[in-house]
Amino acid sequence: MTRLQHPPKGSRLGPTREPFVAYIRVSTYYEEKISPDIQRAAINAWADRNNARIVEWVEDLDVSGRKMKRKIADALKMVEDRTGRGIAVWRYSRFGRSRHGNAVNLARLEALGGRLASATEAADTRTAFGKLQMGMAFKFAEYESDRIGEQWAETREHRRVAGLPATGGQRWGYIWHRRHLDEDEGTIHREWYEPDDTGRVVTTLHERVAEGESMGSVTQWLGRNGHMGTKGKPWLQSGLTRYMDSGFAAGWIRYHPDDCDCPPKDPDSTASRGEKCPNRLWVPGAHDPIVPEDVWSAYKEKREQARNTPSGNRRPAYRLSGNMRCGRCGGTASAAGGATYGAGKQLIVKPGYQFRCSRMKDNRTCDGVYILRSVAEAAVRERLAEWDAMIEAEAATIPQQRAEPTATPRQRIADTRARLRANLADLQQQLDRQTDLLTRGVIPEDSYARERDRLTADQAKATAALAEADARTDEEEAQPADYQPIIRSLLDRWDTTPVETCRAMLREVLRGVWAYPKETAPDGTVTPAYAVPVAVWEAEPTLLGPRADT
């Protein structure tokens, strides 16, 4: 049994060091941003002082402690897998600031037999007094979080009174001048927004929508003319709609009343509390408008009409809606209409006649693809028949078939994980039993060492197997035979199954349907646009690239 040759001064290193998982969190609040390097150094120093070693580092950068969806779940998973015996943090507040979230995570940690250790707060959480200290630290952390939240609310209210948006930053059509101190003059210059040359484009967009043009059409116009957003990226229809509906360009600031009785904000959502509430108000801003008030009024009227008009896309009308992908960029392909002239030059409108690349439609950043819906659906039915024949051929080569139904991929993964966890628990019990026998003098030390090494090696293998099982997804575990009942049902009742049901069944089988544009070979041979359906057990196809033609 070997010891470290040169243990740090003041350490109490023994033959082995207890493994811990280190969790580092940097808050979204600027006054709480403690450098990850500082936290890492303090945790390493704590490990040296307390005969511990850090086996894994888990970092949450720029994440609020009130959120439940954090990487702390990964640290807890490592404790569950016996990778570490506990979690070490810089301070207890890094573990979290939500009363309910802390209670849930701490209860799970203690149920796993682990403990929480703070590198800068001396509290032994294995004792009653240490648990009391930890609980008080959590209460102070929650208090600090509430205090900071109140300060931010006061800051937002101050900005509203000053005619500024609740959060600073660039706004399209304006130059943002930050609030700053001029040391030469000894004065503080206020924050303000100055209209720039892009304002003419913003005005034009509002005018076109006010005259009846759709948001999709003006988004395409921006992409064709090379107009970018504040981050230098092409506009998407969703982002452009949010900006224009905010009324900032018309000189207004939209805010949500603090005394509104709408539900509180979801801490795990990026959407603000007022974003989904209809009780939002417009107040005059301190900036100069670039959209005239009459244009803004007409724009709001048109947008209200659009919101009150039922959308045909709310319920998918086609079997492959949501499954189509562009073979150039890999993005979504949405249904589009077509039209032709019949006898007597009668215009015939064909809704959902084809699928087209959404990036090509919205911002022209992809050369895109057009493919007839009938061609794509025919390709899917052909592939379903091929998969069914393949499954039958493979089944014929198996000497004996099981009578009971095959478990689903998700159930097989769950069974594997449960078996491996039970194996790990049994190995740990055996190791504890051997340690107890050694301490009581029942077995000699050399026998204990051999058995300990064997059990430790088995634990390492089981832990690696469990990590591999946890990393696997349902799609990776999927086997073609799992989906034969769905494939058979689709083939037998394709025309009679309701569209919504058929679409849901296809989403179970398909990873996606990639559409590729027509191609012209060097000898002049033209290959029409074609579709490649891909099953969940198959790999995604190769993309041509968004600018393949150039």
Return the minimum-mean-pLDDT range out of 331-340, 400-409, 541-550: 400-409
Name the residue with higher pLDDT: 30 or 316. Answer: 316
Distance CA 407, CA 481 (A): 10
Q: In this model, does residue 103 exceed pLDDT 90?
A: no
What is the Cα 222 distance to its own chain's centre?
A: 28
- Quick check: helix, strand or coil at residue 530? strand
What is the Cα 393 distance to its own chain's centre?
A: 40
**Among candidate residues 89, 87, 68, the one with its CA nearest the CA of residue 78:** 87
Q: In this model, does residue 408 exceed pLDDT 70?
A: no
Structure tokens at 359: 């990036």
Q: In this model, does residue 153 exceed pLDDT 80?
A: no
Q: In this model, does residue 415 exceed pLDDT 60?
A: yes
- Sign (positive or negative) of CA dihedral 410, 412, 418, 420: negative
pLDDT band at 62 (very low <50, low <70, confident <90, very high): low
Are 333 and 512 within 8 A, CB to CB?
Answer: no
pLDDT band at 386 (very low <50, low <70, confident <90, very high): very high
Distance CA 429, CA 261 (A): 54
Return the minimum-mean-pLDDT range out of 59-63, 203-207, 299-303, 364-368: 59-63
Q: In this model, does residue 430 exceed pLDDT 80?
A: yes
pLDDT band at 403 (very low <50, low <70, confident <90, very high): very low
Are 359 and 546 within 8 A, CB to CB?
Answer: yes
Distances (CA, A) of 256 to 166, 249, 442: 10, 18, 72
Cα 346–351–357 angle (5° rounding)?
Answer: 125
pLDDT band at 515 (very low <50, low <70, confident <90, very high): very high
Distance CA 235, CA 514 (A): 24
Q: In this model, does residue 6 exceed pLDDT 50?
A: no
Distance CA 273, CA 267 (A): 10
Q: In this model, does residue 68 exceed pLDDT 60?
A: no
Q: Dihedral angle at the C-alpha atoms of 40, 46, 52, 57, nearest 10 degrees?
A: -20
Name the residue with higher pLDDT: 58 or 448. Answer: 58
Q: In this model, does residue 392 exceed pLDDT 50?
A: yes
Contacts of 94 (CB under 8 A, 6+ apart): 23, 24, 25, 39, 65
Distance CA 192, CA 178 (A): 7
**Type of residue numbered 366:** C
Distance CA 151, CA 153 (A): 5
To the nearest whole number, what is the mean pLDDT of the chain? 78
Distance CA 25, CA 40 (A): 10
Terminal C-alpha separation, the chain: 66
Distance CA 481, CA 491 (A): 15
Are 176 and 169 within 8 A, CB to CB?
Answer: yes
Averaged over 483-497, what is the pLDDT?
Answer: 86
Q: In this model, does residue 200 exceed pLDDT 80?
A: yes
Encode pLDDT of 217-276 as tens digits. Answer: 888 888 888 888 888 888 888 888 888 988 888 888 887 776 676 766 555 455 566 666
Are 509 and 502 within 8 A, CB to CB?
Answer: no
pLDDT band at 334 (very low <50, low <70, confident <90, very high): confident
**Among candidate residues 149, 51, 144, the one with its CA nearest the CA of residue 94:** 144
Cα 445–447–448 angle (5° rounding)?
Answer: 60
Encode pLDDT of 22-33 as tens digits. Answer: 988 876 554 445
pLDDT number for residue 199: 84
Highest mean pLDDT among 100-104, 137-141, 177-181, 489-493: 489-493
Name the residue with higher pLDDT: 291 or 73. Answer: 291
Longest dimension (CA), the chain: 104
Are 333 and 357 within 8 A, CB to CB?
Answer: yes
pLDDT number for residue 318: 84
pLDDT number for residue 531: 93
147-163: buried (b, 16+ CB within 10 Å) or exposed (e) per residue? ebeeeeeeebeebbeee
Averaged over 162-170, what is the pLDDT?
Answer: 82
Averaged over 411-421, what is the pLDDT?
Answer: 75
Are 273 and 262 within 8 A, CB to CB?
Answer: yes
Structure tokens at 253: 């600031």
pLDDT number for residue 470: 65
Q: In this model, does residue 283 exceed pLDDT 60?
A: yes
pLDDT number for residue 313: 44
Averaged over 297-302, what is the pLDDT?
Answer: 87
Cα 233–239–244 angle (5° rounding)?
Answer: 115
Strand arrangement, sheet containing 115-118: 52-60, 18-25, 86-89, 115-118
3-state secondary structure 162-199: CCCCCCCCCCCCEEEECCEEECCCCEEECCEEEECCCH
Encode pLDDT of 456-468 as tens digits. Answer: 888 888 877 777 7
pLDDT number for residue 548: 44
Return the minimum-mean-pLDDT range out of 156-165, 284-293, 335-344, 444-453: 335-344
The count of other CB atoms within 10 Å of the CB of residue 84 is 23
Pairing of strands 281-284, 252-255: antiparallel
Please name the residue that has the structure tokens 């243990």: 7
pLDDT number for residue 326: 92
Q: What are the two backbone dihedrals, phi and then psi, of residue 127, each rounded to the nearest 5 degrees?
A: -110, 160
Structure tokens at 158: 């101050």
Q: Decide: pTM greater than 0.95.
A: no
